Structure 1
């Protein structure tokens, strides 16, 4: 089986590395318009690379495409790949442009499209979901998630990649990462209250800090503090009811529950082995990135969908909620 990875930046390189280290039967070729990125990937992985997708597809005849470009270009590349009869794995989409066309094209051609939503594949999140979904009680939760924008990619200016664009801004990116698991865990939303502001001196034309009160159809309620200002990268989550009290600080070894019988805090073990790229913050681990790739590959091999946890319809809903939070009207 052969894959073409489109976009050879940080995410493209991560996907290539994970596939090469774990799947001997998959051959990879890369596509990027940047000569510098092509040169870097050739040195790192010794794979064939191309400067345009058309040539790569003609020369290599891949079975699937992994779209790892800037989110603003995703929809047009997805449609092009589908027109070329390629199955598609795409990193998170921050805009729902042409989703109707993408859905129709996927159905008409019988192709597979897989949307990354990495946190849904984290074992800590799965444990939290099991606890919440297994309880009959209403819960409250609070969640602070954020990181200072210049620290996201220390090797480049935040002005030089997609987070500098208001349409695909840094806060929107974090909402698109976090809301899928929040919605899957606590339910769809009945009401949203938003407080937002720009509190940093960063050269941005959008709000950099949000406080969002979420009221779910299930009766659960929560507050999300989300920002791109926190100098320490933050994931700090707490959920509580009469029979559940869970804490998580974003890392695999920080998931814990309060035992109301013993009056002790109990740590929950989720991973026997943790894979990391040490260029990134401690709350970013490789295991979940590999898990979603594995489900995509198994789906291609077996033509089954039951392991997929996030769909185009899910993404349309998530992006609509983010639009509402940002105050974007249809």
Structure 2
């Protein structure tokens, strides 16, 4: 979430005229994130988030908007896109598609304890199961084909040994994707970006209450194990070193498996999928760092963080799946 496209109060008032969401009370840009323009939108009826889509096309957006609507209507705590007077949940502002969704309670927990990881794991499994009957299908747009296309673009910015590791990992993931084990992995709609800053908690630190999952605009149909690996690589690590903390990973994985038990193919693929999740975010951070787009409030993430995690995942056996 960032501010690429400025939105004035007059803009917001004109947009709200198409909804039954009350009158504008406040508008505030959200500086974090790197993909879309986001504003907190307070009206006389409640709290919302206005999102303008900077990369995704109008043709791609129904998957994300309808997925959040489907999950919200199945009891999963996610932002609920609001319908305008004409029933549409997708509008336009400054020539860009946009949506208004409910604002969830709570704030991000950047130093999680096992209790936080338990709630994330349990809710992620519920999300996966709730998405099974979602009718739309769209692949993870930052999956293997994107890795294969992006690696040669960012490699010239890397030291030769680092570029060689990147090429080797892409080759490994390409071969792994052809295996019977890979084809046996359960899949469906997945968040694909469930980092600490995309989960909100209310309550207290001692007794947290999960407010919900946000920022679904990297979502796609992918292997659920990939979604789980993304979580573990962020939620369950020593952030300075990148090593997995067993007490956090154990809590998250056990809670997930209680809702959706994992199968033998997933256990066999776990190490490769942790590597895949690290590769995906190393590549996207390399792209954003070396080939940035202009934004009013944009701070690219450090790509060396996921380079370090990938090196660790390539060299160490992961914590076992339950």
Please indicate, yes or no, whether the TM-score normalized by the shorter chain is above 0.5.
Answer: no
Greater helix fraction, Structure 1 or Structure 2: 2
Greater strand fraction, Structure 1 or Structure 2: 1
Q: RCO higher in 1 or 2 (8 Å CA, sep ≥ 6)?
A: 2
**Normalising by the residue count of structure 2, what TM-score does the alignment of the two structures yield?**
0.30
